[in-house]
Chain A
Amino acid sequence: MIKLSSVSKKFGTTVALHETNLDVSAGKATVLIGPSGCGKSTILRLIIGLLEPTSGTIEIDGDRVTPTNILPLRRRIGYVIQEGGLFAHLTARKNILLMAKHLKQPAERMETRLHELCELTHFPEDGLLRYPVELSGGQRQRVSLMRALMLQPSVLLLDEPLGALDPMVRARLQDELKEIFKRLQQTIVMVTHDMAEAGFFADCIVLLNEGRIVQSGTLDDLRTRPATEFVREFLRAQRAVEAI
């Protein structure tokens, strides 16, 4: 579905991502995890074309990502970031419909889709007329998710979507998000730094460190067959409360 071949990214002399190959399978949830600065967000931003790779190629559904086809490709990808990235001057409704309106979709189709999305994300429809500052953190992330899903993308990218939320809201949203993923049956790439969250969502976990993929597999694979000492250490550092 998404294929990175020998992709690297340098900022000046700093290497953000060494030459990397990655295959994201269709209909599966892949979680990129690792410490800060390991290159996990860089991969996401390369896929959606916010960054251009220094070397290598990226393909989505067989189409190579280039500057000329990036606009139509982005419209097939949903992207959710930590703080939501909502536009403060627009109501929740207008945030969600912005792109569909720009593409002049028929009003009826937009209303139907909006209704579906509210139902999917458990967002109260009367909240649609509120502005981002009038919404709670959890509600903002729901709106952001609806905005990402509006055009029925074939891929959903999430960059620490729950990172800025307090633990209670976060736990509830994790449950809901997993439910949503299950219903969507979509290709999902998510970035997190929390191993429990990764284990909760992932069909496949990709662990990165210092711009390289260290190991990929299920949580079980990582736990029982750590490829390096770093994998063992990273898992140990993320101990659960019960284990203390």
Chain B
Amino acid sequence: MKPIIPILLIFGLSVGAQAQRIVVGSKKFTESYVLGEIAKTTLQNAGFAAEVRQGMGGTIILWQALQGGEITLYPEYTGTIDEEILKTKQPLSTDQMGALLRQRGVGMTGELGFNNTYALVMRRDRAAKLGIGKISDLRNHPDLSLGLTHEFLDRQDGWTPLSARYGLQMRNVRGIDHALGYAALANGSIDLKDAYSTDARIAENNLVVLDDDLHFFPQYKAVFLYRLDMDRRAVAALETLVGTIDEARMTRLNSEAERTKNYALAAALYFGQKPVSPSNDLIRNIERWTLRHLELVGASLFLGIIAGIPLGIRASRPGPVSNFILATSGVIQTIPSLALLALLVPLPFFGISPVTAIFALFLYSLLPIVRNTATGLQDIPTAVRESAAALGLEPRAQLWKVFLPLASRTILAGVKTSAIINVGTATLAALIGVGGLGEPIISGLNLNDYSTILQGAIPAALLALLVQFFFDGLDRVFVPKGLRLKQ
């Protein structure tokens, strides 16, 4: 009888484990991808069904996704938890932090080992020439050009308090994407940028980290945040990672990920395994991305037409309601897509799902459709309008039989504009981990790897052309022949 019990136990364990599907989130930079893959492998080795959602937008989006249950865990840094999530005024001990997080239904593992704090970096040759070694040296060089990430510019432990603490009066500060910033440093268009201290590119690009001589930057110890409803055994598995990754090791893993352009491979290195080469079938990937992309564009455009044409009809009549409709759809267009996604994710029903991306794209597709419908109808000459009324047609029949067909070309042009804009904008769906052709573009941008970017960008451009041709064809179906003839 004895050997049966462990077998039953193992059996029971694996059945129990499979009941919970674990989704690991990661932020959109190399280290977060790698840590996500390491967590996934660890959980899989412990018998859980785990998957990774790569490259989600930023701290807020991941935190919301964790609270909403779209993801089960993700790697985070103590400094970020302190400053951006709990927003406490004074630094907290690990225990205090854990207690505050628990109140919000979130658990925190022990520290993984390394401290990935913010750092200011410059090219080694440039720093040597100017004699800059520490951040306070910058006081004497107010004309240096700084290219800082948008997150760093806005953070409570970011640029503004840093320059206040050091008394810096830099004149040229602008926001630039993290990955692009390295290229800008290399070609000399900026002198200085922010970086993470474990960033592999510091060594690769021969950069120096400026000494934080006033100890401004808080500690950024890596931990995993997880939902308290996550299986106890999964928590135990994660805790085995605690204290196993020091700075040198993390830097090496990051560097490996960037060299091979493969995060799973870098994660495998952590486990000392020969990595199983993941299916890297480019054609199938592009097919999968493109299909998802078409889904997003198609669904959002469909909704855009269904809602946009009636709104446009209403907006073609003069009055305050029309002004409101046109102004609102115009204002929506000015909201940056990442901001719109960040606003939608915390709302009930949305979260990290294709629905959110489709809804955002739907909002963006409204303006061209609404405006063109309204303009197309307003441009119908008074003589034609009055003739339709004078015949004795009811207003509804006037609209369907006369006005809409006459405006069809303009309306269709609006739909076409929306479709093409949506093909481009849908790449941003990857920011909330929904996939589409934005997936290779964003990960390529992070890896500074043009061929990966092109894997997404070329199909997206071709898709835009295809959409254009498709709608040119639709002109023949939807625009009556009498309107296509030349005088």
| Chain A residues at the B interface, C-beta cutoff of 8 Å | 45, 48, 50, 71-75, 77, 79, 81-91, 98-99, 102, 131-134, 147
- In the complex, which of the residues B390, B393, B401, B483 contacts A88, with contact meaning CB atoms closer than 8 Å? B483
* Residues of chain B contacted by A48 (CB below 8 angstroms): 390
For the complex formed, measure the closest distance between the CB of A64 and the CB atoms of chain B, giving whole angstroms.
17
Taking a contact as CB atoms under 8 Å apart, the answer to whether B482 and A133 are in contact is yes
* Residues of chain A contacted by B274 (CB below 8 angstroms): none
Asked if B281 CB lies within 8 Å of chain A CBs, one says no
Asked if B5 CB lies within 8 Å of chain A CBs, one says no
* Residues of chain A contacted by B389 (CB below 8 angstroms): 50, 74
Taking a contact as CB atoms under 8 Å apart, the answer to whether A81 and B482 are in contact is no
Asked if B486 CB lies within 8 Å of chain A CBs, one says yes
> What is the bound-complex CA distance between A71 and B480, given in angstroms?
27
* Residues of chain B contacted by A91 (CB below 8 angstroms): 482
Asked if B203 CB lies within 8 Å of chain A CBs, one says no
17 example contacts (A-B, Cβ-Cβ < 8 A) are as follows A74-B389, A74-B390, A77-B390, A81-B386, A81-B387, A85-B387, A86-B384, A87-B388, A88-B482, A89-B483, A98-B401, A102-B393, A102-B401, A131-B481, A133-B482, A133-B487, A147-B391
- Could you mark each residue 21-56 of chain B with 1 if its beta carbon is under 8 Å from any beta carbon of chain A, else 0? 000000000000000000000000000000000000
Q: In terms of DSSP, what is the predominant structure of the interface of chain B?
A: helix
Q: Nearest chain-A residue to B406 (Cβ)? A: A89
* Residues of chain A contacted by B483 (CB below 8 angstroms): 88-89
Given A81-B387, A133-B486, A134-B485: A87 and B392 interface contact (C-beta under 8 Å):
no
For the complex formed, measure the closest distance between the CB of B383 and the CB atoms of chain A, giving whole angstroms.
4
* Interface residue ranges of B442-487 to A (CB < 8 Å): 480-483, 485-487
For the complex formed, measure the closest distance between the CB of A3 and the CB atoms of chain B, giving whole angstroms.
20
Taking a contact as CB atoms under 8 Å apart, the answer to whether A89 and B482 are in contact is yes
Asked if B394 CB lies within 8 Å of chain A CBs, one says yes
Given A85-B384, A98-B401, A134-B485: A90 and B390 interface contact (C-beta under 8 Å):
no
Given A87-B402, A131-B485, A133-B482: A50 and B393 interface contact (C-beta under 8 Å):
no
Taking a contact as CB atoms under 8 Å apart, the answer to whether A89 and B383 are in contact is no
Nearest 8 interchain pairs by C-beta: A85-B387, A74-B392, A131-B482, A89-B480, A75-B392, A79-B390, A85-B383, A89-B405
* Residues of chain B contacted by A133 (CB below 8 angstroms): 482, 485-487
Given A83-B383, A87-B388: A99 and B393 interface contact (C-beta under 8 Å):
yes
Asked if B291 CB lies within 8 Å of chain A CBs, one says no
For the complex formed, measure the closest distance between the CB of A121 and the CB atoms of chain B, giving whole angstroms.
17
* Residues of chain A contacted by B401 (CB below 8 angstroms): 98, 102
Taking a contact as CB atoms under 8 Å apart, the answer to whether A99 and B392 are in contact is yes
> What is the bound-complex CA distance between A98 and B405, given in angstroms?
14
Asked if B397 CB lies within 8 Å of chain A CBs, one says yes
Q: Nearest chain-A residue to B404 (Cβ)? A: A89
For the complex formed, measure the closest distance between the CB of A221 and the CB atoms of chain B, giving whole angstroms.
31
* Residues of chain B contacted by A99 (CB below 8 angstroms): 391-393
**Seed contacts A45-B386, A84-B383; 6 additional CB < 8 Å A-B pairs:** A71-B394, A74-B390, A75-B392, A83-B383, A89-B405, A99-B391
